[in-house]
């Protein structure tokens, strides 16, 4: 079964600290993996996208890694800001499946002053 599991479900950190969110997937055949940020009551916004051959990709203070062998990805947030408080969703697409996506349940991050 194609699944995407994220951990932790929720996380609280102090402003300025770093954190790492995890994503494990069983989606096959793998095409690409995306991390989305979703503010409360808003639609998700894409942060990064990685294909099979990419190990790491950065977008400002966000750095995503991908290990296609172990089917794991992580999202590292550096020097967190209050505006980073949101849900972070890991999304995997299958090769030759059109643009059909499998979504993780998300990690809810709260950054406190």
List interacting residues with another protein (CB under 8 A).
Answer: 4, 9, 34, 36, 41-46, 49, 89, 98-106
Which of 29, 98 has the CB closer to another protein? 98
d(CA 15, CA 5): 26
- Residues with Cβ within 8 Å of 45's Cβ and at least 6 positions away in sequence, in order, are 36, 37, 38
d(CA 12, CA 19): 9
Maximum Cα–Cα distance across the chain: 45
Least distance (Å) between residue 90 CB and another protein? 9
Least distance (Å) between residue 99 CB and another protein? 5
Which of 78, 85 has the CB closer to another protein? 85
Least distance (Å) between residue 18 CB and another protein? 25
Phi, psi of 82 (to 5 degrees): -55, -35
Which of 2, 72 has the CB closer to another protein? 2
Phi, psi of 12 (to 5 degrees): -120, 125
Which of 74, 78 has the CB closer to another protein? 74
């Amino acid at each position: 079964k194609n699944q995407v599991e994220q951990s932790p479900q929720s996380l609280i950190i102090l402003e300025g600290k770093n954190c790492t969110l995890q994503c494990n997937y069983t989606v096959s055949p793998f095409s690409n993996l995306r991390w989305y940020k979703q503010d409360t009551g808003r639609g998700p916004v894409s942060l990064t996208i990685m294909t099979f051959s990419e190990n790491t990709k950065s977008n400002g203070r966000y750095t995503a890694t991908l290990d296609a062998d172990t089917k794991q990805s992580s999202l590292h947030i550096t020097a967190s800001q209050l505006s980073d408080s949101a849900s972070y969703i890991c999304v995997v697409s299958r090769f030759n499946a059109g643009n059909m996506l499998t979504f993780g349940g998300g990690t809810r991050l709260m950054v406190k002053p």
